[in-house]
Amino acid sequence: MATVSILYFSGAGHTAKLAEAVAQGAASIAGVKTNLIALSGDDITKGRYHNDAVFAQLDASDAILFGSPTYMGGPAAQFKAFADASGDRWYRGAWRDKLAAGFTVSSGPSGDKLSTLHYFFTLAMQHGMIWVGFPENSMNDKGINRLSSYSGVMAQAGQEPVEIAPNAADKLTGELLGRRVAAFAAKLAV
């Protein structure tokens, strides 16, 4: 049994919708247990993130997918507070060789989302994790990876007034990332 955790912050609910799609994709792989973990700003006191239960779930995971909205060209401050709190795991090499991947949502088609994904990548490399990219070709009729991001999944908010974006194509894109990471985690756990 492999354990895949989807760890995300969402301020207004868009990234939460994408995280749910990622988790749905991960859960569709046989032999995979999925944790969907929302970071809460209530766990940040004087700028410091603290939640032992969240870290225990991550410590017990074979793969962690990082998710955050892109705020001012990078991850949300709440995500960064969590990342800073992971420094203790960095010191002990506790997350070394776990799989990692990332996803982000913002209003613009670009909106500097790549900076957020690259931050996740750097965080994963500091922890000695193994980065899983997203090779789905954007040239398809379903809108899969329509924003053409191969470092991780990008989704766009604000284009559908009748439901909370990301739209169906972006959610499918997130689902495929979840499937991909979980499939690798299941193989490695054998």
**What residue ranges bind ligand FMN (CB under 6 A)?**
10-15, 69-73, 105-108, 111-112, 157
27 alpha carbon, distance to own chain's centre: 15
Separation of CA 111 from chain center: 17
Closer CB to ligand FMN, 34 or 167, in the complex:
167
Closest approach of ligand FMN to the CB of residue 73, in Å: 5
Nearer to ligand FMN, 24 or 107 (CB): 107
- Reduced to 3 states (helix: H, G, I; strand: E, B; else coil), residue 128 is coil
- How far apart are CB 141 and ligand FMN at their closest, in Å? 25
Q: Give whichever of 113 and 127 is closer to ligand FMN, judged by the CB atom.
A: 113
Shortest separation between residue 147's beta carbon and ligand FMN, angstroms: 11
- CA gap 124, 122 in Å, rounded: 5
List CB contacts of 169: < 8 A, sequence separation 6 or more. 142, 143, 144, 146
Phi, psi dihedrals of residue 145, rounded to the nearest 5°: 55, 45
Minimum CB distance to ligand FMN, residue 29 (Å): 25
Residue nearest to ligand FMN (CB): 111
Q: How far apart are CA 136 and CA 126, in angstroms?
A: 26
* Comparison of 157 and 185: residue with beta carbon closer to ligand FMN: 157
Instruction: Report in angstroms how near the CB of residue 152 gets to ligand FMN at its nearest.
Output: 15
Q: Which is nearer to ligand FMN, 69 or 152 (CB)?
A: 69
CB 166 within 8 A of CB 146: no
Cis before residue 75, ω within 30 degrees of 0? no
Q: CA–CA separation, 111 vs 74, rounded Å? A: 10
